[in-house]
Structure 1
Amino acid sequence: MQSHIRAAGACWQVYLALLSQMEARGPRRFPWGYGLYWTTLHILLECSHFSHEDVRRGQDLKQVIEKGGVNYKEAEPTSVRPPPSHHCGILHFPWQQSRRLRRRTESFPGTSGRAGADMTTGRICCLVLLTLGVLAVVVVLLVTLTQPKCAPQQYLHGAVAADTETCSNIGRDILKRGGSAVDAAIAGLICTSVMNPQSSGLGGGVVFTIYNASTGTVEVINARETAPQGIPSDLLSGCTSLHIGPKWIAVPGEIRGYEEAHKRYGRLPWKSLFEPTIKLLSDPLVVSPVMDKIINHQNFSHVGRNLCPLICDGQRFLTRGKTFRWPALQKTLKILAESGATAFYEGEIGKALVEDIKKVGSVITMEDLKAYKAEVSSALNITLNKNITVFSPPPPMGGAVLLFILKILEEYKFHQASLATPKEKGETYHLIAEVLKFGNMLKPEMKDPTFSEAKAVVAMMLCNKTAERVRSKIDARGDHPVDHYNFSKFLSNCNYESKGTSHISVLAADGSAVSATSTINFPFGSFVYSNQTGIILNNELADFCTGKSSIRAGERPPSAMVPSILISKSGDMLVIGGAGGDWIISATAMAIINKLWFGYDLERAISSPIMHTNKDSILFEEHFSQDVRNSLLKRGHKEQKVEFSMNVVQGVSKEGKCISAYSDKRKLGKSAGY
């Protein structure tokens, strides 16, 4: 009798250890562990009650568990809970019910002839418990020893890098609820339109680059804005002025983009993606330092008055830390959550929006909204170092320019030692600067392929012969004239075959990933605000001012947006993209160079000051290395002073089993994961 009591006591210790491991690591990591624990706990509570001593041991254990913060009755998962009427029924012991009846008539084992049978069943129970106990210890040890060791700020399941911590958290929570990477991206972008309304929103457009882990394919959803039917024929004559006001508004594509992405890849209900932001709008919003910097900038101080219904106290802009409410947008989001994109493009939201912007001079009509469709295509891709495939969106987005830059730089075989000495560092950044000049000069060629020969241009940009010709034109000098970098007219006639704002990067537990960029173009777009809907409208038609002589209805303007995904043969991944208008391609390219070739961790790769090029000149971000700057200027590079920039990059990387995420501090962002 004493032997099986001691065995039962030993079993308790095993299960307490198992419980400790599970509580430390969480039920999501040990669903089998909870099932095993509660199954054996029920057996033990049932089968060890052979004497007052056994009962006391069970009560002691219960107290120990409860003192440790775990109530075994409340914590017990219903999915593994045996029916309360027969706790040992999992093992189907045939003597269970009769033993319970015998206990009512026998105070102690051994007081009748049936006690021996009880002791026999007790030994059977203990044998079962010991077997399960040993199994539990072995499994816990195996799982513990095989778990990857990740740094404190890394994750094992998924992560989201959005413009703000609030929006990153919303995206992460969507992932934890079983949502897809697309679900998390949409929820995060809806949030961003509220937390950073100067950058993106329902009045703009969005581009998704989506990796489907189950099929290994990458798709691009292009919900870039389009030119309306009634676009003025003389619009481009105003390109020399500030591109702000109703005539520069393009037909918004944001909500259609969400709809298309969710239809293809969504898991959670559409409504649930809006609910966190709707709840967020129930409380006052705070003017962020970034918003304060923009609305009080001299370039926007006058036109910004159009936003006074939202962010003014009388006729004075709210300042940093002040609060405002946005009930009109909350109402709009509630309608969209219930009625879907139809409410925007065919229903009450669209009608109210058109009515508001028509009053101030916009030519957009309900027919323009009804005609809008998001486009789906394959991503462009190249392979670097014979190991890493880079996926980025085709024209009118800037993915081809990003791939062009990386393809040329690949042959220089950069690595950590490329920055080892001041001389080597100067040489390395000279090569990068020259390639950026060639690449950024090609941005005007990224036209809507429906209305241009952009596909043929991209094929020539990304072929090996073109890369060789560009490298042959790069020497030690940095003082070449602009025409030296205007390579579009010299693109080699060869074939290329693809194998296969605000920015948010998402990596889900199933390995799927989304890189999505949303924009209204300028800070606060056109500075046109719809009072009825709470929507701030874009000024995307201004993007036609680069290299265009005419605009056709339905045409999408060129864009520097490059939401990209990099995947290695071993399964490592980098999900990255940026916001910041003209600086996006340079900023994203330099972050990739830093991570891929210079060996920087993700935070340093993104946060390091960058350089950007405009024609034959270089623009240096604040805090860029003075030594490198001096080295470049000595080579003849021309410097252009930076008047205003807000380049921001968000990224999520996976190396082995560990996931890192970083939201750019330039916009005071913070990532989230689990």
Structure 2
Amino acid sequence: MKKTRRILALLLAAMLTVSAAGCGSTSAPASSAPESSAAQPSEPASESEPAQEEVPEEPAYTSLDDFVLFDKDGQTLRTGRDATGEQGIVSTSKYEASKIGRQIIEEGGNAIDAAVAAAFALGLVEPNSSGIGGGGFMTLYLAETGETQFIDFRECAPAAATPDMWVMGDDGKVVGNEMMEGGKSIGVPGEVAGMLYILENYGTMTRQQVLQPTIDLARKGVTVTPTLANDMMDSFDKMMKYPEFGETFLREDGLPYGVGEIFQNPDYASTLELIAEQGADGFYKGPLAEAIVAANNKYDGLMTMEDLANYQVKVTEPVKGTYRGYEILSSPPPSSGGTIVIEILNILENFDLPGMEPNSAEELHLFSEAFKLAYADRAKYMGDPKYVDVPLAGLMNKEYAKTLAAQIDVEKAAETVEANDPWPYEHVETTHYSIADKEGNMVSVTKTVNGIFGSGVCVDGYGFMLNNEMGDFDFGPDKPNSIAGGKVPLSSMSPTVVLKDGKPAFVLGSPGATTIISTVAQVISKVIDHGMTMQEAVDAPRIKGFKDNKIDYETRIDQAVIDKLVEMGHICNPLEEWNRSFGSVQAVLYGEDGVLQGAADPRRDGKALGY
């Protein structure tokens, strides 16, 4: 019965989506609209009555303004994602969040103010990927002092979490999928604490100023894009399993929203009003905290009020490396992202990539081999440094990279790769957005609720999802990434700032789980090695893969190149021309003429806006 209900709901939602897209409709669901008077019998018009002039219809409301993201058939368009600006650029994964961030800069705020506003906006317009029930990392460059900070607001394990909290079934999987959904998948959220910390310490505006645009938009409504509509439809079963999820994110008639329809979230607006008034205490203490714990525990979770009250933002320095004269600053542990990006670039620096054709077989082969070597080290050594020793300096050492580069056969793919030993050299990373302003402040933020709509657990009456970040831990004890109370799970998030001669060059990052690392490395190389514009580098087709000698690739790569890679021993798996799994880079580059270039990834809904 449940399966039949789901099939019928999805079929009806699909038909409504096609209908709405075909008509260019962005109206609310038809079931909530008033009955049309055209459906009622009418008296014939009197011959003496004057002819009525036709009044043009008001265009239907859309939160996308004049940005055309999808066509009349609901298909995503891949153009028009970049922007330029003299005062600042905001490049996020959603138009509305970029618009709100730009508004903050227009009103006199700096890049940090805009970053905080964009974060809370993304929780409304992209709840499938991030939100205040999750966490993340920020790499921040402050122009006035030249200081770079790494802000860790990643989720952590509840104090009661242990390696044996999940049960493994005979099929080798966790019973009940408890790693990925329900209460035991939920880590203590850090986003609210992190964003308010940076606002208070580096911003210039009040909480009310940065939150009000999103409060207003939550009540007015946002246009459902193809990406969001697909994720809502794919999550329908989970919405049935966790009713609070469905009550917030399904239409009044119990069906998923279609492309072009308007989704309103007044509960989220009220939550932001509470945070604007009370700050972090409004989230981590009091009624909202009690609702978070109740939602978690209803579905067998372990979180307590003490876990929330004890959450702390951590401020450290980013990891630092160089690549062909550029300085790379990115995420340190507990993210593996920055370290492994730098290790990959160090390996590639031993080869003449600038002399190769972009995306040639020769170049892609080197990327693939570098990925294998660096990711093997990631699996063996990386974890939360509070719990395990990480040979950080060794992994990023140039001489160590030379030993790895020497293992690469430029004519043949290595079938198996083992982790190497960086210890002798020890002495010497969802959604992403990037913001930069004319003063040179750069903000790179990667944040997430982990899986699509996180754990499936929605905080009743508050309009946001809780993460399933516990699924990033390894199953079982005695591993660098095993569960412990208060521990932060390993991540690949790689929010990155790049300097040239001590001055801002560009800022970037991406979502995409383990693919984040390879995506960021490829885009950096495209800009530095091949002189591409930032949008060209973001648009360029990508590869991914680091084990079993397999490469996934976007089919815009020339088939002759793929044939050559196969001859070299690679197992090549075609995906689509533009594939969401290859990440979604948002970036800003400082042009030599002083104009900022914003780029946004057409693989999802990204849009850069300039001022």
Q: Which TM class, normalised by the smaller chain length? A: 0.7 to 0.9
Is 1:394 paired with 2:325?
Answer: no
Matches of 1:302 and 1:641 in 2, distance apart?
A: 29
- Name the structure 2 match of 1:222: 152
**Counterparts of 2:339 and 2:162 in 1: how far apart (Å)?**
30
> Do structure 1's residue 343 and structure 2's residue 282 form an aligned pair?
yes
- The structure-2 alpha-carbon separation of the partners of 1:549 and 1:207, relative to structure 1 and needing over 3 Å to count, comes to closer
Aligned to 2:361: 426
2:603 and 2:427 map into 1 onto residues whose CA distance is 37
Distance of 1:186 and 1:646 partners within structure 2: 26
**Structure 2 residue 291 is matched with structure 1 residue 356:** no
Aligned equivalent of 1:607:
539
**Which residue does 2:377 correspond to in 1?**
442
Q: Is the CA contact 1:201–1:254 (under 8 Å) kept in the aligned structure 2? A: yes
Q: What's the counterpart of residue 343 of structure 2?
A: 404
The letter for the 2-side match of 1:513 is M
User: In 2 relative to 1, CA 315–155 (structure 1 residues): closer, same or farther, beyond 3 Å?
Assistant: closer
Shift, 1:315, TM fit:
4.2
What is the distance in 1 between the residues matched to 2:445 and 2:263? 28
CA distance in 1, matches of 2:88, 2:482: 45
1:532-585 Cα deviation digits (max 9, x unpaired): 221201011111127557311110001110000001017351100001222111
Does the aligned pair in 2 maintain the 1:463–1:496 contact within 8 Å? no
**Structure-1 separation of matches of 2:427 and 2:202:** 29
Structure 1 range deviating more: 503-512 or 237-246: 237-246
In structure 2, distance between residues paired with 1:213 and 1:269: 21
Decide whether the 8 Å contact of 1:180 with 1:265 is kept in 2. Answer: no
Q: Which has the higher helix share?
A: 1
Q: Structure 1 residue aligned with 2:568, among 635, 646, 649?
A: 635
1:375 and 2:314 aligned = yes
Compared CA separation, residues 212 and 624, structure 1 to 2 (3 A):
same
Does the aligned pair in 1 maintain the 2:587–2:598 contact within 8 Å?
yes
Distance in 2 separating the partners of 1:602 and 1:412: 23
1:459 pairs with 2:393: yes
Residues 222-258 of structure 1 deviation map (CA, whole Å, 9 limit, x = unaligned): 0100000122542354583542222110000001111
Task: Supply the distance in 1 between the matched residues of 2:533 and 2:163 (Cα, whole angstroms).
Answer: 50
Give the alignment's TM-score, normalised by structure 2: 0.79
Q: Bigger radius of gyration, 1 or 2? A: 1
**CA–CA separation in structure 2 for the residues paired with 1:464 and 1:251:** 37
The CA distance in 2 between the partners of 1:505 and 1:235, in whole Å, is 37
State whether structure 2 residue 481 is matched by structure 1 residue 523: no
Cα distance, 1:644 vs structure 2: 7.2
Give, in angstroms, the shift of residue 477 of structure 1. Answer: 4.8
Using structure 1 for the length normalisation, give the TM-score: 0.72
Partners of 1:362 and 1:288 in 2: CA distance: 32
Corresponding letter in the other structure for 2:518: S
Instruction: Check conservation: 1:462, 1:496, Cα contact below 8 A.
Output: no
Q: 2:218 pairs with 271, 281, 284, which one?
A: 281
Displacement of 1:383 in angstroms is: 1.9
The one-letter code sitting in structure 2 at the alignment partner of 1:197 is P
Q: Which residue of 2 aligns with 1:597?
A: 529
- Give the 3 Å change call, closer, same or farther, for CA 390–644 of structure 1 in structure 2: closer
Higher relative contact order (CA 8 A, sep 6+): 2
2:562 corresponds to 1:626: no
Decide which moves more: 567-576 or 543-552.
543-552
Correspondence for 1:111: none
Match of 1:617 in 2: 550
After superposition, residues 185-334 of structure 1 pair within 5 angstroms as 185-235=115-165, 237-238=167-168, 240-241=173-174, 242=177, 243-297=180-234, 300-305=235-240, 306=242, 307-313=245-251, 314-334=253-273
Distance in 2 separating the partners of 1:265 and 1:295: 36
Amino acid at match of 1:503: H
| Residues 638-647 or 367-376, more deviating | 638-647
Give the secondary structure class of the aligned counterpart of 2:424. coil
Deviations 1:344-371 (A, max 9, x none): 1122211122122222222111100011
When residues 646 and 284 of structure 1 are mapped into structure 2, their CA distance, relative to the original with a 3 A threshold, is: farther
Partner of 2:53: none
Matched letter for residue 225 of structure 2: S
Secondary structure of 1:667's partner?
coil
**Partners in 1 of 2:270 and 2:554 — Cα distance?**
40
Deviation of 1:342 after TM superposition, in Å, equals 0.9
- 1:95 aligned partner: none
Q: What SS does structure 1 have at the residue aligned with 2:333?
A: coil
Give the Cα–Cα distance (whole angstroms) in 1 for the partners of residues 236 and 95 of structure 2.
Answer: 28
**Where does the alignment leave 5 or more consecutive residues of structure 2 unmatched?**
1-81
Q: Which residue of 2 aligns with 1:118?
A: none
The residue type paired with residue 388 of structure 2 is S
Identity of aligned pairs, percent? 30
Q: Is the 8 A contact 2:163 2:484 kept in 1?
A: no
Q: Would the aligned equivalents of 1:465 and 1:492 in 2 still touch at CA under 8 Å?
A: no
